[in-house]
Chains A and B, each alone.
Chain A
Amino acid sequence: MYVAVKGGETAIRNAHALLAEARRGDPAVPEIGIDQIREQLALAVDRVMAEGSLFDRDLAALALKQARGDTIEAIFLLRALRTTLPRFGAALPVDTATMTLRRRISATFKDLPGGQLLGPTFDYTHRLLDPALATQTPAAPAPAAKATPKVSAKAASKAAGKAAPKPPMGETSTPAAPVPRVTDLLGDEKLIEPAPADTGAEPPDLTRTPLAFPADRATRLQNLARGDEGFLLALGYSTQRGYARTHPFVGEIRIGEVEVELFVEELGFAVPLGAVSVTECQMVNQFHGTAEAPPQFTRGYGLVFGQSERKAMSMALVDRAMRWEELGETLSAPAQDAEFVLSHSDNVQSTGFVEHLKLPHYVDFQAELGLVRLMRGAHAAASDALQDGDPE
């Protein structure tokens, strides 16, 4: 006898109770603290903040804990909170030239004003699992690095392994003296296209206006900034393998803290709101020039919350690829296709729609069952009529 499927509510409650238990894991193991996640899984926290479009380390750490370490689930949790927050204004454009640097490298020049500063990087580490980390021993303090992430010319030149020609900044830099961007240095000779002028127009806000095509560059960059790291990585990689090749060079990557300011009408001046950590990538790409425009390097741009060079670089590659029309190139590859890229970059959207296939679809499936039976019936009748003895 058929028993009607009931009890969905109880089943869901039980599933959630099981989830809470699984999240906690073995109760004999001490529970992980938000502060531990924030401090020791900082790059996971950074990614959640970047793709969650909300700069709050504690909330991102909480989301990671609640999501059992599932990054996209944590991003989703953060977004669902972010969307309810009031928006009371647009900050002034941040000036990355004045940021407090923790890392700054250029692949296009051996040395440059401000120096090369390696900072905390996995680059050049040997990827050997370190058994020492398996035990809880106090870490040895980093040699030159100080607790406060300040850049001095000395530290910068030390990191570059050579003496800087002239110290471009004071020994103590609070606030940091500007370290010119490589693209600004190239711009002096007009070897690279200028950065787009600030028109003063209110920037678009993808969270308040639906995405529409064609999308301007600001909208595209905003979409990429919160887009899925893996998706952008694959697209950026594809441009390197010949699917819309752009001949990229890392002009500069800089990581550090940049001040966010809000212009307050009532006061008549801008007030600082605090600092956010960002990674900026200026990709320098070849451009052959046209009849009107002389040969010149072009730019691809990436800016991401926190420390994520992979994401910032991928973003810069894809940004440059999507500029094909403006630069008179031909559309030949997925990374150039703004509608394709922007419509599929958001991992909260993607994961939702892919995973919704788990939801019941038996009504539609029933309709398809009926159709397949009908078509098979017609097929069999036709075969019988032919009497060709097909045993199917």
Chain B
Amino acid sequence: MSAMPTITYNFGYLDEQTKRMIRRAILKAIAIPGYQVPFASREMPMPYGWGTGGVQVTAAILGPDDILKVIDQGSDDTTNAVAIRSFFAATAGVRTTTRTKEATIIQTRHRVPETKLGPEQILVYQVPIPEPLRFLEPRETETRTLHALADYGLMHVKLYEDIARHGHIATTYAYPVMVAGRYVTDPSPIPKFDNPKLDDCPALQLFGAGREQRIYAIPPHTRVVSLDFEDHPFRVQRFDRPCALCGAEDVYLDEVILDDRGGRMFVCSDTDHCDQRRAAGHAGTMAPQGAPKGTSKP
């Protein structure tokens, strides 16, 4: 059998040329907030649709001194978050954390942390379909033209039709936003509950869509407005009870099915936020006695 070629990988997996290419796309994205910058997305060693865009952005901005947090559905412990965190721990040897406050880079799928982010932090979103108009117009050639002309009539008609049919806008996640008054942008499939956190956020927000080969950005302190109408203002979801473990109100909750007799409990989707609150002595109606479950360090 012939000899296999030696296989070696760079810091953070991607080669430096590729990182430079991604950084150029990121810089352009920051310069034109909300605009989708095409980039030559690479095959990553995890499948497309599993966060390759976010992983490429993170790999391009990650330095040896960074502290990385990865969440999926708000949780550090979901399998894909674990897989991505260990990928960077292995390929870049960076420190990882589950604490929002400690992290310099937070890669996320489907949530924005409840803890307010600071100016020294970067939030990297994994994006499946970066084009907010995609389900109204499947052709990229068309949607790029619509963006160029800032022609967002289609989107407003869609939202209006929702109201006409249901009495309210029937979009609960990936709710479209207007960034810096110019580009209608997909905030990734976060619940619309999180949309207000994007506005005037002190942290840099980067969005990576690997399969669709797009990067876009919301620079710090940028105006981000969820689309609505004067007589139908944008409203976020409200839960009619607090977190059963930490008693937090005004947070996004996961519904957990307890039994087959309709038993339910609602707990924080942001596991770090819940842990921190419980460590600080807050308790919900179903909080276990004694110390909270430890925040397991990877």
Q: Do A and B bind each other?
A: yes
Q: Number of contact residues on B: which range applies? A: 35 or more
B189 in the interface (beta carbon within 8 A)? yes
Interface residues of A, CB < 8 Å — how many?
A: 58
| Cβ–Cβ contact B271 & A4, under 8 A | yes
Q: Which residues of B contact A339 (CB under 8 A)?
A: 139-141
Known: A2-B267, A351-B47, A359-B80. A59 touches B4 (CB 8 A): yes
A82 in the interface (beta carbon within 8 A)? yes
For B79-90 the 0/1 string (1 means CB < 8 A from A) is 111110010000
Binds A, one of B116-124, B165-173, B177-185, B224-232: B165-173
Interface residues of B in 61-79 (CB under 8 A from A): 72-75, 77-79
| Cβ–Cβ contact A76 & B47, under 8 A | yes
| Cβ–Cβ contact A81 & B7, under 8 A | yes
| Cβ–Cβ contact A211 & B42, under 8 A | no
Known: A5-B77, A6-B77, A207-B40. A352 touches B50 (CB 8 A): yes
Interface residues of A in 69-105 (CB under 8 A from B): 76, 79-84, 86
| Cβ–Cβ contact B191 & A58, under 8 A | no
Q: Which residues of B contact A354 (CB under 8 A)?
A: 49
| Cβ–Cβ contact A83 & B79, under 8 A | no
Interface centre among A4, A6, A62, A354 (most CB of B within 10 A): A4
Residue of B with least CB distance to A208: B40
| Cβ–Cβ contact B1 & A9, under 8 A | no
| Cβ–Cβ contact A363 & B166, under 8 A | no
Binds B, one of A21-29, A368-376, A384-392: A368-376
Residue of A with least CB distance to B258: A2
| Cβ–Cβ contact B77 & A7, under 8 A | yes
State in angstroms the CA–CA spacing of A365 and B65 once bound together. Answer: 36
Q: Which of A11, A59, A79, A364 contacts B189 (CB 8 A)?
A: A364
B244 in the interface (beta carbon within 8 A)? yes
| Cβ–Cβ contact A366 & B254, under 8 A | yes
Residue of A with least CB distance to B82: A8
| Cβ–Cβ contact B43 & A364, under 8 A | no
Q: Which residues of A contact B245 (CB under 8 A)?
A: 2, 4
| Cβ–Cβ contact B254 & A353, under 8 A | no
| Cβ–Cβ contact A84 & B253, under 8 A | no
B290 in the interface (beta carbon within 8 A)? no
**Distance from A340 Cβ to chain B, minimum over Cβ atoms (Å):** 8
Additional pairs, 8, CB under 8 Å, beyond known A33-B1, A84-B14, A352-B50: A2-B258, A8-B81, A58-B1, A58-B4, A209-B40, A210-B39, A362-B73, A371-B170
Some 18 contacts from A to B, beta carbons below 8 A apart, are A2-B258, A12-B79, A35-B1, A58-B2, A80-B43, A84-B9, A207-B42, A210-B40, A339-B140, A349-B211, A353-B211, A354-B49, A355-B47, A356-B47, A360-B72, A362-B73, A363-B111, A364-B173
